[in-house]
Amino acid sequence: MSNILKSVKLDFSLVRPYVKTICFTMVLPAVFAAINRSLLTGISFAMCFIAMTSGYTFSITEKNDMERLYSILPVRKSELVVGRYAFSIIMGLLALIFSLITHPVILSSLGETVSTFDIACAAAVGIFLFALYTVFQLPGYYKFGSIKGRVFMYIPVAGFLATLFLITKIPADNSGWLITVLSSPVLVLLAAVLVVIMYVISILVSVKIVQGKEL
Amino acid sequence: MKLIISNISGIPIYEQIKQQVKSAIMSGELHADETLPSLRTLAKDLKISVLTVTRAYTELEEEGFVKNIQGRGCFVLSRGSELLKEQLVCKIENSLSEAINAARVAELSGEELHRLLDILMEEKTDE
Amino acid sequence: MNNYLEVKNLSKSFDNFRLHDISFTLPKGYIMGLIGPNGSGKTTTIKLILNMLKRTEGEVKILGLDNIADEQAAKKSLGVVFDSNYFSDDWKVSQVEKSVSVFYENWNTQRFSELLDKFHISPAKKVKELSKGMQMKLMIACAFSYDAKLLILDEPTSGLDPVSRDELLHILSEYIEDGEHSVLFSTHITGDLERAADYITYISYGELFFSGGKDEFVDSFRIVKGGREELSDDLGKKAFGIRDFATGFEALIKTEDIKLFAHLNVEPATIDDIVVFTSKRGEQYE
């Protein structure tokens, strides 16, 4: 097992006692989707919530002074950082998959029609939003810790409100712009490349922060 | 073999170990070719430093009571008890000469000196 | 390789504290006590060894490996116990094993459960439910389960009751019994070291005061006691700190100076005496 995978596993065991709470937070977006009768807002909300939980690993390690454990384990600091990003991405993807299954089911039961294309659109938007939130959050937590850096927890909230604002500002029949963006393979590809670049830069920044830290 | 370490005697721990090993050899409790307890186990059991036991054993070896064979342990040498006896006899001779000298200064006769010795020995046996 | 830990000319500057030119060597198979009053630089030294702090100068070798260039390899054989536990409070003891064991290829599950038995730690308990002494033993059990060759303990006995402290010393003497393991043990409770430590490294005000055999360290000092009228200028010059009071005085001197003060009451010094008197010295001249 590579050291990065081991680090991911360690992060999983950190949040294990909080799994129920995290699962519970995934129920609210489903309700929200049902009220709004919109898959897109439901998914945006879900990604906002799961991004808000990305600080859990940081607050648990801070509370228990676990930097000391990290500093005696036979792994590189960079491996621990990459592991934490991988863990956050896995959590994001799990939340996304869960929401992409439950929300359409709920919406269909309410009589809404949800097409595969709608789901694909929501998935792409979800991934993009989640990436956008976490690439700023994680370096923030690394730099300031989860207590001093708790303002970073609210990045997703701001992002969510902005998304909500954008969606409601554009009349439903006029939301064609999003469909245009999402049906263009070039633009989707561009967004994907952007996400990757953002993550790479974010990871590099975090590694730099962690390596410069003295305990 | 019994080894007891006192913290309040004021005698260094390595010295206490040496003395007790020597008296065990003298009393015949430790025979020739018998091994002393393993250095590290003894340190663990007595909760003392390995280096302290090492010093005691090394000095016992230097004084000719034991022989340390790498990897096999510390063996009691056959001439250990003789050596000790010689040393003790020598010590007695020295102390007695000192007593004789003091007796001369005090103008004590040989008889009186003998009587003194008898009294002291009697007192010791009473204890 | 005969030296499990080599520290050479280690220095670290902070805004308000400086650890300067610390060197010592811990051979395999022995226990070394790292002593000094609070704030003297013991924890800084340990953090530099663990590369938790970046050194300003110097060199550290753990089991012959550079502590920065070969950090990961060195840490595979290194166990560390801090004054408080570094696991998640909410983990059960069994989860501690699951979380930590993956990082060590030679983790021995059977050994871990034997150690839990021996230390009376229930695998079903949460870390936060364990006493401080139990938490310390849990850290030790982890280190022993991957057969750490060098165990570093930073103030492990502060806040422990006498029973747990005695247990710790017993665990450590057993650990080094085979001659293949070493211990570096920082403490300001020097009574813990009085008997069990083989070597002493004494850091005072960020500087190395002594590093070498414990017996040699303790033997090289004596306590002299006498009435106030016997407190001469000569003694004042030779003594490492003097405590004088209404009915007399006590002073720490080098054993080699003992001839000069043969008329006084001379006693062996304890590690505590040495630390207390030598630390007072600085205050005296302030």
Let me know if residue B90 belongs to a domain: yes
Q: How far is A18 from chain C (nearest CA, A)?
A: 10
pLDDT tens-digit series, residues C224-250: 998 888 888 888 888 888 888 888 889
Report d(CA B57, CA B61) in Å as an integer: 6
> Rounded to 5 degrees, what are φ and ψ at B12?
-55, 145
pLDDT of residue A99: 94
- Is residue B71 domain-shared with residue B90, that is, in the same domain? no
Its pTM stands at: 0.86
Let me know if residue B8 belongs to a domain: no
Total domains present in chain B: 2
Report d(CA A107, CA A34) in Å as an integer: 6
Beta bridge partners of C78: C150
**Which has the closest alpha carbon to C61: C12, C6, C107?**
C6
Report d(CA B17, CA B57) in Å as an integer: 8
Residue C22's H or E segment, with its range, is strand C18-27
Helix (H, G, I), strand (E, B) or coil at C268: strand
- Is residue B72 domain-shared with residue B17, that is, in the same domain? yes
- Is residue B44 domain-shared with residue B101, that is, in the same domain? no
Query: In a mutagenesis test of the B interface, which of C172, C198, C218 is the best target, namely the one with the most B β-carbons within 10 Å?
Result: C198
Contact list in C for residue A68 (CB cut-off 8 A) is 52, 80, 82, 86
Q: How far is C28 from chain B (nearest CA, A)?
A: 12
Average pLDDT over residues C128-148: 95
CATH number, domain C3-217: 3.40.50.300
pLDDT of residue B126: 67
Pick the more confident residue, C273 or A179: C273
Q: Which amino acid is at C17?
A: F
Cα→Cα distances A1→A9, C96, C97, C104, C223, Å: 10, 18, 16, 11, 59
Q: How far is C88 from chain A (nearest CA, A)?
A: 6
Let me know if residue B33 belongs to a domain: yes
Average pLDDT over residues C116-121: 94
Q: Domain residues for B64?
A: 13-78
Whether C282 has a pLDDT exceeding 50, the answer reads no
Whether C277 has a pLDDT exceeding 50, the answer reads yes
- Is residue B85 domain-shared with residue B72, that is, in the same domain? no
Q: Which amino acid is at A1?
A: M
A69/C87 touch (CB, cutoff 8 Å), yes or no: yes
Nearest residue in chain C measured CA to CA from B40: C177
Half-sphere exposure at residue A73, Cβ-oriented, CA atoms within 13 angstroms: 24
ipTM of the complex: 0.89
Ranges of residues in chain B with a pLDDT under 70 are 80-81, 126-127
- Is residue B17 domain-shared with residue B57, that is, in the same domain? yes
Q: What is the CATH number of the domain that holds B67?
A: 1.10.10.10
- Is residue B59 domain-shared with residue B30, that is, in the same domain? yes
Contacts of A115 (CB under 8 A, 6+ apart): none
pLDDT of residue B32: 83
Helix (H, G, I), strand (E, B) or coil at B105: helix
What is the domain partition of chain C in residue ranges? 3-217, 221-285
**Which has the closest alpha carbon to C133: C100, C95, C101, C166?**
C166
Helix (H, G, I), strand (E, B) or coil at A166: helix
Average pLDDT over residues C69-96: 94
Ranges of residues in chain A with a pLDDT under 70 are 1, 168-178, 181
Query: In a mutagenesis test of the A interface, which of C62, C82, C102 is the best target, namely the one with the most A β-carbons within 10 Å?
Result: C102
What is the domain partition of chain A in residue ranges? 2-166+176-211
- Is residue B90 domain-shared with residue B56, that is, in the same domain? no
Let me know if residue B1 belongs to a domain: no
Beta bridge partners of C3: C27
pLDDT of residue A173: 52
C197/B49 touch (CB, cutoff 8 Å), yes or no: yes
Average pLDDT over residues C89-103: 95
- Is residue B74 domain-shared with residue B88, that is, in the same domain? no
pLDDT of residue B12: 86
CA dihedral A22, A24, A25, A30 (to 10 degrees): 140
Average pLDDT over residues C197-212: 94
- Is residue B67 domain-shared with residue B91, that is, in the same domain? no
B41/C177 touch (CB, cutoff 8 Å), yes or no: yes
Let me know if residue B4 belongs to a domain: no
